[in-house]
Amino acid sequence: MSTPSEAPAPNGENTVVQLISTKDAQTTYSNFCRGALTPEEVVLDFGFNANAFGVKILEEDIQIQNRIILSPSTAKRLLFQLNEMIRRHEQNFGEVEMDFRRRIKGQPAASDNGIQSPPRP
């Protein structure tokens, strides 16, 4: 599958059209992400944590499945894209709850235990 992508030319007058192919793209589920910085790169590791909800389900460590290395400018564009996507999601479906305990019926929220959820951007 190819999707056209338009980007302004350096002189701002013409438009360059590039096709984006997802033919060889791989899809991976992740519920864990961590990041690191160098002067020239933003490094993002994605993985699966089977014990993400505070209950030991499996005897295994978090397995990093994908590492994405971005230039700082690409990481900044990703930040803007993710902010817009979450804004649209919440507009259509309601607030994304960061505290998993609030998403599980019958569980106390983090604020009930004196733990605060991270501030919203």
Q: pLDDT for 63-89, tens place per residue?
A: 899 999 999 999 999 999 999 999 999
Q: How far is CA 62 from CA 29, 32, 47, 59, 96, in A?
A: 13, 8, 7, 10, 24
- Per the model's pLDDT, the better-predicted residue between 76 and 3 turns out to be 76
Instruction: Note the residue count of the chain.
Output: 121
- Per the model's pLDDT, the better-predicted residue between 55 and 36 turns out to be 36
DSSP letter at 11 equals: T
What is the chain's mean pLDDT, rounded?
82
Task: Quote the pTM value.
Answer: 0.65
Of 115, 95, 96, the C-alpha closest to 54 is: 115
